Amino acid sequence: MYPRLVINRQKIKENTALIAEKASQLDIDLYAVSKVYCGMPSVAQASIEGGAKAIADSRLENFEKMIDLNCDKVLLRLPMQSEAERVVALCDISLNSEIETLKALDHAADKATKKHRVILMIDLGDLREGILKADVDKTVKAIMDMKHITLEGIGVNLTCYGGVIPGPDNLGDLVSIAAHIEKEFDLALKVISGGNSSSLFLLDNGEMPSKINNLRIGEAIVLGRETAYGDIIKGAHEDAFILEAEIIELKTKDSIPTGKIGMDAFGNKPTFVDKGKMLRAIAAIGRQDVNPEGLTPLDERIEIIGASSDHMIMDLTATGETYAVGQVVQFRLDYGAMLKACTSEYIKKVIL
């Protein structure tokens, strides 16, 4: 059945192992991030087998799917106060930046007779989540006063909203803040979490501050790329996930529409380049399932030229007579396309 996403667990395991091995040389461990593939348990399991220390995700629904996985579960997105009880039930650790939410977690942990571990997020300039440096002491003190919460460590998130690149300056700041907390409050922080796939290049260039001991890695495991500069990770698989869609029409037609041009299905006024007659294929997949701009056909002779909700149009002129109606075209996906494809209920997931 098509369209389908074919997921190679061995490649996920090998990508995890490659990165975990490199990180472990600097005494850094990995949380493997499962949110882009909606927490499919057997895929997450492959990352654990590849050496990830824990599984991290943004959504509790995904942790419900992964309930049988035998590892620490880390909630990446700041908890909603309204989900505090489920956070404590489903996760061992959560990332936090709000004292009121921490109080709700403390209360929920008390009720569940559990200890919940937290990583306090510090905003070092990317302007997504995290407390400001000036609020560190106040917040740590508040956590120390909570009986059912343990401060596991601190962390930073970069290159997500503001596009800020990690380096010795901002990660150095994180390390200094950790040292300050340890001294001021006479405690040891287990985790100093230096970011996501955009921090990986620092493992190679020797600029990772030595006290950083954790990274939270999603995209690099799944797509084989680091995300500060978009570079391929040497030796990693870029094709652990492949999308397949079936051709439902294949005809030679004009390359520009005939008639007065108004708006397309999404309210945009389309423009066209006249390439004369073209061998055009329609695949049964569309914007409801993926963003076509994020797909790369494995057959380099194919060009994607547009899509509506359920139809994707491709120029197959250069392929000659290779394809026929009923045949399948394969694509690699970028992060955005993968996120959508994994989430689309219309795309079957085939796990190898």
Ligand X SMILES: *Cc1c(COP(=O)(O)O)cnc(C)c1O
β-pair partners for 244: 4, 330
Query: Quick check: 217 binds ligand X (CB under 6 A)?
Result: yes
How crowded is the C-beta side of 274, counted as CA atoms within 13 Å?
2
- Select 36 or 278, whichever has its Cβ closest to ligand X: 36
Neighbours of 278 (CB within 10 A): 20
- Selected binder of ligand X within 15, 47, 157, 214 (CB under 6 A): 157
Q: Which part of the chain contacts ligand X (CB under 6 A), choosing from 175-183, 216-224, 255-263, 264-272?
A: 216-224
Query: Quick check: 219 binds ligand X (CB under 6 A)?
Result: yes
Query: Quick check: 101 binds ligand X (CB under 6 A)?
Result: no
Query: Quick check: 199 binds ligand X (CB under 6 A)?
Result: no
Q: Are 138 and 106 in contact (CB under 8 A)?
A: no
Catalytic residue among 11, 13, 35, 73: 35
Min CB(158)–ligand X separation in Å:
9
Cα separation, 9 vs 352, whole angstroms: 6
Query: Quick check: 153 binds ligand X (CB under 6 A)?
Result: no
Q: Is 111 a catalytic residue?
A: no
- Burial group, residue 197, by CB count within 10 angstroms (0-12, 13-18, 19+): buried
Query: Quick check: 76 binds ligand X (CB under 6 A)?
Result: yes
- Select 314 or 342, whichever has its Cβ closest to ligand X: 342
- Selected binder of ligand X within 15, 96, 97, 227 (CB under 6 A): 227
β-pair partners for 131: 122
Query: Quick check: 8 binds ligand X (CB under 6 A)?
Result: no
Query: Quick check: 196 binds ligand X (CB under 6 A)?
Result: yes
Give the CB-nearest residue to ligand X: 218
Contacts (Cβ under 8 Å, ≥6 apart) of 138: none
Q: Are 154 and 187 in contact (CB under 8 A)?
A: no
Min CB(111)–ligand X separation in Å:
26
- Selected binder of ligand X within 130, 209, 218, 297 (CB under 6 A): 218
Residues 264-283 that bind ligand X (CB under 6 A): none
Q: Are 166 and 228 in contact (CB under 8 A)?
A: yes
Cα separation, 136 vs 102, whole angstroms: 14
How far apart, in Å, are the Cα atoms of 274 and each of 34, 221, 253, 258, 260? Answer: 43, 41, 12, 12, 16
Query: Quick check: 117 binds ligand X (CB under 6 A)?
Result: no
Cα separation, 222 vs 152, whole angstroms: 27
Min CB(24)–ligand X separation in Å:
17
Min CB(103)–ligand X separation in Å:
21
Residues 34-73 that bind ligand X (CB under 6 A): 35, 58
Min CB(93)–ligand X separation in Å:
12
- Burial group, residue 28, by CB count within 10 angstroms (0-12, 13-18, 19+): buried
Residues near ligand X, by CB under 6 A: 33, 35, 58, 76, 95, 157, 196-197, 216-220, 227
* Catalytic machinery residues: 35
